[in-house]
Amino acid sequence: MSAPSARHRRLHRRPFPPDLAFLSGLHVLRYNSSVIKIAPSILSADFAALGTDIARVEAGGADQLHVDVMDGRFVPNITIGPVVVGAIRKRTRLPLDVHLMIVEPERYIPEFIAAGADMVTVHAEACPHLQRTLAQIRELGAKAGVALNPSTPPSALEFVLDDLDLVLVMSVNPGFGGQAFIPTAHRKIREIKKLLGKRPVDVSVDGGVKVDLAKSLADDGATTLVAGSAVFGAADPAAAVKALRSAATA
Please tell me which residue in 53, 63, 68, 202 is annotated as part of the active site: 68
CB contact set of 106 (below 8 Å; sequence gap of 6+): 127, 129, 132, 133, 136
In DSSP terms, which residues pair with 206 in a beta bridge? 170, 226
At 211, which helix (H) or strand (E)?
helix 211-220
CB contact set of 235 (below 8 Å; sequence gap of 6+): none
212 is catalytic: no
Closest CA to 92 of 41, 120, 51, 61: 51
DSSP-derived secondary structure for 25-43:
TTEEEEE--SS-EEEEBGG
CA-based R_g, the chain, Å? 16
How far apart, in whole angstroms, are the C-alpha atoms of residue 96 and residue 88? 9
Please tell me which residue in 63, 118, 202, 206 is annotated as part of the active site: 206
* HSE-CB of 17 using CA atoms within 13 angstroms: 17
Residue 19 carries which side chain, given as an amino acid letter?
Answer: D
68 is catalytic: yes
Neighbours of 137 (CB within 10 A): 26
Q: Is 111 exposed, middle or buried (0-12, 13-18, 19+ CB in 10 A)?
A: middle
Instruction: Give the residue numbers marked as catalytic.
Output: 68, 206
